[in-house]
């Protein structure tokens, strides 16, 4: 755990001008390390109504779903609605695409810059209802910094 708030760590990382791949790879590490309940963290990038997970843009077990259409999954729903979706119990949400049998809850936060959807920040937890108000706010702040970085550098 780092004493600085997550979005401050990401702002410092953005100021380092490391390049998009290194930024995203380090960003998911910072995010995963910020909370013991975050068991999987990934940044999917949007392209032509599909989401793609570049290699190393995730922390946690290698997932089955590296490409997701906007019409599939919690990730696709968040991308098409451009809104955060929190699922307290993934087993009761028919949209859920399973990546790990251990996952119990999920949050997907859209990454937006100047109203354009650039991707989504996806987190899974092995604990039920792991993403409360505090976690959601921290992750939406994080997604805003990621959006600004990607929007200005891609």
Q: Which is nearer to ligand SME, 122 or 148 (CB)?
A: 122
Distance of closest approach, residue 12 Cβ to ligand SME, in angstroms: 27
Written as one string, the DSSP assignment of 95-147 is TPPPS-TT--EEEEEEEEETTEEEEEEEEEESSTT---HHHHHHHHHHHHHHH
Residue 63 in the binding site for ligand SME (CB under 6 A): yes
Q: What value, to the nearest 5°, has the Cα angle with vertex 87 and ends 22 and 128?
A: 95
Q: Which is nearer to ligand SME, 17 or 81 (CB)?
A: 81
| Contact region with ligand SME (CB under 6 A), list: 30-38, 71-79, 133-141, 143-151 | 71-79
> How is residue 71 written in tokens?
């019409």
20-33 helix and 6-15 helix, angle to the nearest 10 degrees: 160
Within residues 102-131, the interface with ligand SME by CB under 6 A covers 106, 122, 124
Site residues, ligand SME (CB under 6 A):
40, 42, 63, 65, 68, 73-75, 96-97, 99, 106, 122, 124
């Amino acid at each position: 755990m780092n004493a600085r708030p997550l979005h401050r760590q990401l702002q410092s990382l953005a100021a380092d001008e490391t390049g998009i791949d290194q930024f995203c790879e380090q960003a998911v590490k910072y995010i995963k390390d910020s909370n013991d309940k975050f068991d999987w963290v990934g940044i999917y990038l949007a392209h032509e109504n599909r989401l793609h997970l570049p290699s190393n843009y995730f922390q946690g077990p290698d997932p089955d779903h590296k490409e997701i259409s906007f019409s599939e999954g919690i990730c696709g729903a968040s991308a098409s609605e451009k809104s955060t979706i929190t699922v307290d119990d993934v087993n009761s949400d028919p949209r859920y695409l399973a990546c790990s049998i251990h996952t119990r809850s999920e949050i997907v936060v859209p990454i937006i810059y100047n109203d354009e959807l650039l991707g989504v920040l996806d987190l899974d937890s092995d604990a039920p209802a792991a993403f409360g108000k505090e976690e959601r706010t921290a992750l939406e702040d994080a997604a805003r910094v990621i959006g600004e970085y990607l929007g200005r550098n891609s």
